[in-house]
Amino acid sequence: MPRSRNIIMLLVSLLGAVLLWLYVVNNVATESTIRISSIPINIDGTIDLQDRDLLITSQDSASLTLELSGSRANLSKLNADSIRVNADASRIREPGNYALSCSVTFPDTVRPSDVEILRKSVENVNITVTKLKRKTLTVEFNWTGEVKEGYLFERDSTVIDPAEIELYGPDYEVDRITRAVVSYDISTLEEKTSVDLPVVFLNDENEEAELSESIEVSASEVRLTLPVLRTKEIRLALEMIPGGGVSTDNVSIAMTPETVRVKGDADVIDQLDDVYYLDSVELANLKNGETLSYDLSLPSGVTNISGEDTVTAEVSVTGISTEPIVVSDIRTVNAPEGLKVELSTRTVRVTIRGNTEEIQEIMSNADNGIYILVDLADYTQVGAYTVAGQVVNSTHPSVAAAENVQIGIVISAPEPTED
């Protein structure tokens, strides 16, 4: 038993000696050195610079290396992530070149007095500070190609959203950007179209300028709305209604202008007839050499692009004659039952109009077949009336009276008869 106890005591003593040795090596023994590289250099005060429209555009060192001396226990707590290196730029107020001293901060677990900085690979970090500038460019639109025949591209109505782009960055970078441009080929367009397009920035030589990372832009693409309309040439005309002995064969109407070009959405223009009638005219009321005038009023959604707002129509009547004739054949129909009808008008002078040859035949023939028909269906009371009469031409129906005919009548009760 005593021998076993001695062995145990020996082992305990040996373990204690090892632990004491480890403590002395790590905490009491001569200090060690360590080299830590790639420690990032942080620039403080960049927000202050931006508030003064300043920007750091170059920095000669992004990291540094430290050689440190201290106990192994303290040095073991240090690495590139736990050490902070800072350079303060907050006091800079003007653009220029500056050398900022680098300060080293250790983590809270290591007191600055426990570690000695033997060497810094970088004492100062050199930076260039540049003036920031804002510039607003109006977005330009350059198109290529031409729209198809029958279509119209309205350049002045093109919408670019946003219409302006703001650049913000170092003045020397911003100054070299002079234009913002979008381009599109319009040759395939047949209707109003909206597309999203990237913006191309150009320099003074009209060459594409690639933006550096230090420049901020308010938009890198825009929405372009391209108004493309359908066009059509339409002929202007008047709808002629035959009457009064005049047919469409006897009348020609010269329109000024004869045609106009119009524009509108494709679905509207495609439904528009090739001939556009301004008005309807009764040929019975037209006179040779008469000039009619109309305001050009087009359907909704259709716009005149020819420029004429007023249309004139010159009337030419050919192959038509007018002659006066006396008619004594006056006939009544639908006389009121049980009443007596007498004509107070015995003869009527009527101007007839129609084909020249037919008029000549009528005038040369005493039995011309012309009579006046008076319809009394609406007259049922005793009295004297002036009633419209209808001129009837039984031999030449196309010949008509050039004016209205009025016939005087007297309606009376029949005289009593003796029983």
Task: Mention every residue, 6+ apart, whose C-beta is less than 8 A from residue 326.
Answer: 347, 348, 349, 350
State both tokens at 17. Answer: 């000696």
**pLDDT score recorded for residue 244:** 78
**pLDDT score recorded for residue 213:** 86
**pLDDT score recorded for residue 17:** 57
Residue with tokens 């009276």, as numbered in its chain = 401
- CA dihedral sign, ordered 325, 329, 334, 337: positive
pLDDT digits (tens, 9 = 90+) for 175-197: 999 999 999 999 999 999 999 99
296 and 381 in a single domain? The answer is: no
**pLDDT score recorded for residue 21:** 53
**Structural domain includes residue 38:** yes
**pLDDT score recorded for residue 262:** 95
**Structural domain includes residue 21:** no
**pLDDT score recorded for residue 235:** 96
Least confident among 4-8, 304-308, 368-372: 4-8
- Examine residue 162 and say whether the peptide bond preceding it is cis (omega within 30 degrees of 0): yes
286 and 337 in a single domain? The answer is: no
The pLDDT confidence band at residue 359, using thresholds 50, 70 and 90, is: confident
Q: What is the pTM of this model?
A: 0.58
Provide mean pLDDT across the span 277-293: 89
Rounded CA-CA distance 39/49 in Å is 24
Is residue 409 predicted with pLDDT exceeding 90?
yes
**pLDDT score recorded for residue 145:** 94
State both tokens at 388. Answer: 């419209």
326 and 312 in a single domain? The answer is: no
Last residue of a domain, which of 122, 143, 172? Answer: 122
**CATH at 118:** 2.170.120.30
106 and 168 in a single domain? The answer is: no
Bigger pLDDT: 285 vs 278: 278
78 and 114 in a single domain? The answer is: yes
**pLDDT score recorded for residue 361:** 85
Is residue 27 predicted with pLDDT exceeding 60?
no
**Structural domain includes residue 112:** yes
Is residue 36 predicted with pLDDT exceeding 80?
yes
CA 118 to chain centre: 70
Is residue 417 predicted with pLDDT exceeding 70?
no
Provide mean pLDDT across the span 315-344: 90
Is residue 9 predicted with pLDDT exceeding 90?
no
311 and 325 in a single domain? The answer is: no
| 288-294-297-298 Cα dihedral, nearest 10 degrees | 30
Last residue of a domain, which of 318, 347, 378? Answer: 318
**Structural domain includes residue 291:** yes
On average, the pLDDT of the chain sits at 89
Is residue 80 predicted with pLDDT exceeding 90?
yes
Rounded CA-CA distance 10/257 in Å is 129
pLDDT digits (tens, 9 = 90+) for 106-152: 999 999 899 999 999 999 999 999 999 999 999 999 999 999 999 99
**pLDDT score recorded for residue 208:** 93
Rounded CA-CA distance 397/390 in Å is 12
215 and 244 in a single domain? The answer is: no
**pLDDT score recorded for residue 356:** 86
**Structural domain includes residue 19:** no
User: Which residue in 327, 295, 343 sits closest to 391, CA to CA?
Assistant: 327
Task: Mention every residue, 6+ apart, whose C-beta is less than 8 A from residue 116.
Answer: 31, 68, 69, 70
Asked if 199 and 165 touch (Cβ cutoff 8 Å), the reply is yes
Is residue 23 predicted with pLDDT exceeding 60?
no
Last residue of a domain, which of 226, 250, 267? Answer: 226
pLDDT digits (tens, 9 = 90+) for 219-253: 999 999 999 999 999 999 999 998 878 888 889 99
Asked if 161 and 218 touch (Cβ cutoff 8 Å), the reply is no
Classify residue 265 by burial, with Cβ atoms within 10 Å: 0-12, 13-18, 19+: middle
Q: Which domain holds residue 50?
A: 26-122
Element at 230 (helix H, strand E): strand 228-241
Q: Number of structural domains, the chain?
A: 4
State both tokens at 99. Answer: 């050398």
**pLDDT score recorded for residue 140:** 96
**pLDDT score recorded for residue 200:** 96
User: To the nearest whole percent, how much of the chain has pLDDT over 90?
Assistant: 69
Is residue 14 predicted with pLDDT exceeding 80?
no
**pLDDT score recorded for residue 362:** 83
The pLDDT confidence band at residue 414, using thresholds 50, 70 and 90, is: confident
The pLDDT confidence band at residue 161, using thresholds 50, 70 and 90, is: very high
